[in-house]
Structure 1
Amino acid sequence: MTQSSPEVPGDERGTLLAFVEAQRAALRRSVLGLTEEQAASRPSASELSLSGLLKHAAEVELAWLRMAQQQPNERQRGRETWSEGFRLVGGEGIPDVLAFWDGVAAETAAFVAALPGLDETFPLPPAPWFPKDGKVSMRWMLLHLVEEFARHAGHADVIRESIDGTKAMG
């Protein structure tokens, strides 16, 4: 269970940020003690790897942050490079991905802390899975990040257990 600390206020904003961080941390723990090769392996029926999940989660968080800020996403991928968001390429390593994610996480926390309120909204991009001219609140975005990271933390648990038997919960 996520608890408040002196650094994270126990109000709704702080609680949501704490839950986002708890799920981020679960994903990050999945690679502890592994080599780059182990973290990039795909030992299950899925094409997902632990390092690929880390990269994907960090880039997804950046994408939602940029949408909320209504700024361009400097790491947005086209259809032809979409799969590169699920694997390390071009000399990327786990330390690089974790450092990138640290920066995104800090930027998310600062952005959310500076908001007048969590009821502030931003437009969703045109996509078949979003309603036409849809908007969501900052609260929705934070809950969506919890959902996204928790889903992938579950994937990471299965992958890690398949690699070396390590279990997230004992």
Structure 2
Amino acid sequence: MAHPTEEIPGDERGTLLLFVENQREALRQAARGLTEEQAASRPTVSELSLSGLVKHAAEVELNWLRMAQGKPNEHHRAPEAWHEGFRLTEDETTASALAFWDGVKEETDAFVTSVPSLDDSFALPPAPWFPDAEVSIRWMLLHLVREFARHAGHADIIRESLDGTKAMG
């Protein structure tokens, strides 16, 4: 994968997809090489774990994709069960969460590549945390970069707390 600071052939769409992928990979890298127990552990005062962050990021991406597509989210959970999106449950594993995210990534990339314009927009659902507005596909991609970058930082701290591995060497 190209690094975002390299010259990137292509247009704005390709550049935005590259930056989204770069932040996805930062999260995925933090979870590599760990046992299920390590990936699910919470070595800081936070409730976050690496496997939970992977699951959360995949589900967040799917949710934004479904909103942009105007389709119902098949992984929607009730507001009172929001915490289940931050930890693996029952038969879920880090590998299964990563595989799920691979599928979401492929679907997102295909959708973004297929829309006529990054200016195409979709309405946000009614919620106290959303403005009463529409957002563009461009906005969605930038939001995913922001979301994944925030959690990649969390993942770096968790991983370093687990075994001293540092994302930046």
In the superposition, the TM-score normalised over structure 2's length comes to 0.95
Partner of 1:94: 94
Aligned match of 1:83: 83
What amino acid is the match of 1:67?
M
Corresponding position of 1:53: 53
Return the alpha-carbon distance in structure 2 between the equivalents of residues 18 and 64 of structure 1. Answer: 17
- Residue 132 of structure 2 corresponds to residue 136 of structure 1: no
Q: Once superposed, which parts of structure 1, at least 4 consecutive aligned residues long, lie more than 3 Å away?
A: none
Deviation at 1:80, TM superposition (A): 2.9
Shift of 1:4: 6.0
Deviations 1:101-144 (A, max 9, x none): 00000000000000100000000010112222x10000000000
The aligned counterpart of 2:115 is 115
Aligned residues of 1:55 and 1:86 also touching (Cα < 8 A)? yes
How many Å separate the matches in 1 of 2:32 and 2:130?
36
How many equivalent pairs are there? Answer: 166
- What CA deviation, in whole Å up to 9, does each residue of 1:50-104 have, x standing for no partner? 0000000000000000000000000011023211100000110011111100000
Structure 2: unaligned runs, 5 residues or longer: none
> Is the CA contact (8 Å cut-off) linking 1:63 and 1:73 kept in structure 2?
yes
Partner of 2:11: 11
Give the deviation of 1:10 after TM superposition: 2.1
Structure 1 residue runs without a partner (length 5+): none
Q: Distance in 2 between matches of 1:54 and 1:108?
A: 16
Tell me how large the CA RMSD over aligned residues is. 1.1
- Aligned equivalent of 1:151: 150
TM-score by length of 1: 0.95
State the one-letter code of the partner of 1:157: D
Q: Identity rate of aligned residues, in percent?
A: 70
1:22, CA displacement in angstroms?
Answer: 0.2
Distance 1:167 1:15 in 2: 26
Asked if structure 2 preserves the Cα contact closer than 8 Å seen for 1:4 and 1:15, the reply is: no
Q: Structure 1's 109 and 4: CA in aligned 2 closer, same or farther, altered over 3 A?
A: farther
2:163 alignment partner in structure 1: 164
